[in-house]
Amino acid sequence: MDKFPTHNKKLIEWVKNMARMCQPDDIVWIDGSDEQKQRFEKEAIGSGEIIQLNQEKLPGCFLHRTAKDDVARTEHLTFICTKIKNDAGPNNNWMTPKTAYKKARAIFKGSMSGRRMYVIPFSMGPVGSPFSKIGVELTDSRYVVLNMLIMTRAGEAVLRQLEKDGHFTKCLHSKAELDINKRLILHFPEDNTIWSVGSGYGGNVLLGKKCLSLRIASFIARKEKWFAEHMLIMGIEEPNGHVEYIAGAFPSACGKTNLAMLVPPDGLKKKGYRIWTVGDDIAWMRVDTDGSLWAINPESGFFGVAPGTNSKTNPNMVDTIKKNTIYTNVLLKPDRTVWWEGANGEVPQEGVDWQGGLWKAGMPDDRGRPILGAHPNARFTAPIMNCPTASFRIEQHHGVPISAIIFGGRRQHLAPLVYESFSWQHGVFVGSTMGSELTAAQVGKIGDVRIDPMAMFPFCGYNMAEYFRHWLAIGKRMAKAPKIFHVNWFRADESGKFLWPGFGENLRVLEWILDRCNNKVDALKSPIGYIPRPTDLDMTGLTLANGDLHRLLEISNEDWLEELKRIKKFYQLFKEDLPKELWQEYEELLLRLKAR
C-alpha cells in the first residue's frame, strides 16, 4: 500500500501533522481486510495486549485487560471545548479550545515514539448512506483497531467514500502512559475534532461511539436539523408480518440492550410476535419527506456490559458473544473460556481475575468482601450481525420509520409502569425531566435520583437548554410525529421487591404502546399523562400478586409534587436559556396535580 492511500489532501496533511506531534515509528492504514485483521490479532497476542481464548468453544474470541484505574468512562476528564462557555452549557465540563489543545499537546508530544500509528477510516452508518458520517481515528492501540473493526464499518470502502466528499471527523487517540493524571477526553465541535489521551477504556477511546456518534453528532445534528440520541432501536413484528419500530432512551444499567433483543414471553408467543434488533445504544433520526421520523443505528457492533448477561436476562446476547468477540476485564477460566458474575452455569472454583491475579471463588479482599472475578463494568465487543435477532434493515441506507419514542429510568417509586405524553411538547418535558436511581455501578448514594434528560446528560455536545429547544423545533417539522411514552420496569413494593418481572414480559407494555400509536385502544387520563386501563394490558400467562398491577399504575400526587421540586432545581441550572414551553409544561403539571 502507498504511504498515503488517498488523494484527500486535508486527510494527508492532518495525518502528517499529528504524526509530527506524536512521533510514531511508522504509520499503517487500516484496509478492513481479514488478512490485515488477523495479522494484528497475532501481533496483539504476541505483545500481550490480548489473550486468545479457547478457539473450539469461543472461535475468534479474545480477552483484554485494562489498567486498574481505567475501567469506565471518566466523565470528570471529558470536556466540550467551545469558544464560548455557555455554548457547552452547565451540563458539560468546559475549556477553551486554545487551553485544551495546549494541555493535550503536551501529553501527545512524542507519545507514539517506539509505537505504530494506525489510521482507521470509519463510517458511522452504512458506507455511502446520505445519513452516515465519516471519521478517521489515529491511534497507537491495536486493541482500539480490533474493536473499531467490530463497532464501525472501517477500511478501504470508507477511504474511497472520502475521496468523493472529503468531510470527516478528526479523531486522535494515544494511550500515552495510561496515566489517569494525564488523561483527557476532549471534544472540539467547532473544529469537528476529538482528542483522547491517556486511556485505553472503550467508552473513552473507541471514538466513533460516544465521542463522535453522540457528542459531536448531537452538535452537528442541531445545525443540520436531525437527532443524535442515546437510544436503542427495535422492530416488533406483528402476527400479520407488519413490523413497527420504536426507539428508546434509558440511562446505563436500565436494560437497554436486553430490551432491544427481548424474547417474547410464553403467554404472548402464540400471537406470533418477533423482535428485530436494529441497535442497542445509539440512534440517528431525521424527518423524511413522508413527515415521519426515520432512524439508523450508526454502529455495527455491541459494546455491552457482561455482568448479569445470561440465558434468562438476554439469551440472544448469550448467542451473539459466542464468536468473534473481544472480552474486556472478565474472568479467565482454566479451560480458557470466560466468566463473569451473573453468567450462565456454576460459579467456577478458580481462574484469573480481571486484574490478572489468581482467583478462587469466595476469596475475600482485605475488608472481608468476596473479590469479583470480573469487573462490574466488564464488557464484550461483538458484531451486531452475530445477533440472532439482527434486523435485515441494519444495512439499509434509509433506516426504519419510528412509531414511538420511549423514555425510561429506574424508579422504585413514583413513575408508573407506563404512561403516554399528551403531546410532542409534553413528551419533550417528560424526556427532559426523566430521572433514574443510582445503582451500585455508579458513584454516589444508592437510591439517590439523578436527572438524566433523554439519557443524554453525559453525551450532549452542547448546552442542553438548546438541545431541548431543538427537540421542540423538530417536533413542529413532523406531520407524523412518533408518540412519546415513559416506562418504568423497576417499580417496587415497600420491601423493595420489584412489582414487574421485566425482561421478555416488557413486550406486554410495548404491545399497549403500539396499540396506542395505531389508535386501537383507549386510555385513562391522569395528571402526568395517559395510562392503560388494566384490562388493556394482555396478561395471558402472567400472574401478578393481588393488587400489584394496580400498584404498578398508581400515581401518587404527593410524590409527584416532591418530584416537581427536583425538576425545578434542575431546570433552574439553565437559567433564562431554558425554553419557556418547558416551564409552561411544568406549571400545567403542577396545576393538574393540585386540582386532583
Q: Which residues bind ligand OXD (CB under 6 A)?
A: 73, 203, 252, 281, 303
Q: CB neighbours (10 Å) of residue 475?
A: 19
Smaller CB distance to ligand OXD: residue 73 or 115? Answer: 73
Smaller CB distance to ligand OXD: residue 54 or 93? Answer: 93
Task: List the single partner that 174 binds among Mn ion, ligand OXD, none, CB under 5 to 8 Å by kind.
Answer: none
In the complex, the residues that contact Mn ion under the rule CB under 5 A are 281
Taking the CA atoms of residue 121, residue 124, residue 130 and residue 131 in that order, the dihedral angle to the nearest 10 degrees is: -160
Q: Can you give the three-state secondary structure of 138-202, one letter per residue?
A: EECCHHHHHHHHHHCEECHHHHHHHHHHCCCEEEEEECCCCCHHHCEEEEEHHHCEEEEECCCCH
Smaller CB distance to ligand OXD: residue 303 or 586? Answer: 303
CB 150 within 8 A of CB 116: no
| Contacting residues for 348 by C-beta, under 8 A, at least 6 apart | 331, 333, 334, 339, 361, 373
Task: List the single partner that 426 binds among Mn ion, ligand OXD, none, CB under 5 to 8 Å by kind.
Answer: none
Smaller CB distance to ligand OXD: residue 6 or 328? Answer: 328
Minimal CA–CA distance to 71: which of 418, 373, 379, 473?
379
- Placement of cell 433483543 in the chain: 261
Minimal CA–CA distance to 377: which of 443, 435, 446?
443
Q: Which amino acid is at 209?
A: K
Smaller CB distance to ligand OXD: residue 196 or 252? Answer: 252
Of all residues in the shown chain, the one whose CB is closest to Mn ion is 281
Smaller CB distance to ligand OXD: residue 227 or 273? Answer: 227
Burial of 189 (C-beta count, 10 Å sphere; 0-12/13-18/19+) = buried
Alpha helix (H) ranges present in 433-520? 464-476, 507-517
**Shortest distance, CB of residue 210 to Mn ion, whole angstroms?**
7
Task: List the single partner that 73 binds among Mn ion, ligand OXD, none, CB under 5 to 8 Å by kind.
Answer: ligand OXD
**Shortest distance, CB of residue 63 to ligand OXD, whole angstroms?**
19
**Shortest distance, CB of residue 303 to ligand OXD, whole angstroms?**
6
**Shortest distance, CB of residue 203 to ligand OXD, whole angstroms?**
5
Q: Which amino acid is at 146?
A: L
H/E run at residue 235:
strand 231-237
**Shortest distance, CB of residue 464 to ligand OXD, whole angstroms?**
17
Task: List the single partner that 244 binds among Mn ion, ligand OXD, none, CB under 5 to 8 Å by kind.
Answer: none
Task: List the single partner that 427 binds among Mn ion, ligand OXD, none, CB under 5 to 8 Å by kind.
Answer: none
Task: List the single partner that 563 binds among Mn ion, ligand OXD, none, CB under 5 to 8 Å by kind.
Answer: none
- One of 22, 171, 254, 387 is an active-site residue; which one? 254
Annotation marks residue 81 as catalytic: no
**Shortest distance, CB of residue 585 to ligand OXD, whole angstroms?**
27
User: Alpha-carbon distance 457 to 436, whole Å?
Assistant: 12
Burial of 123 (C-beta count, 10 Å sphere; 0-12/13-18/19+) = buried
Catalytic residues: 254
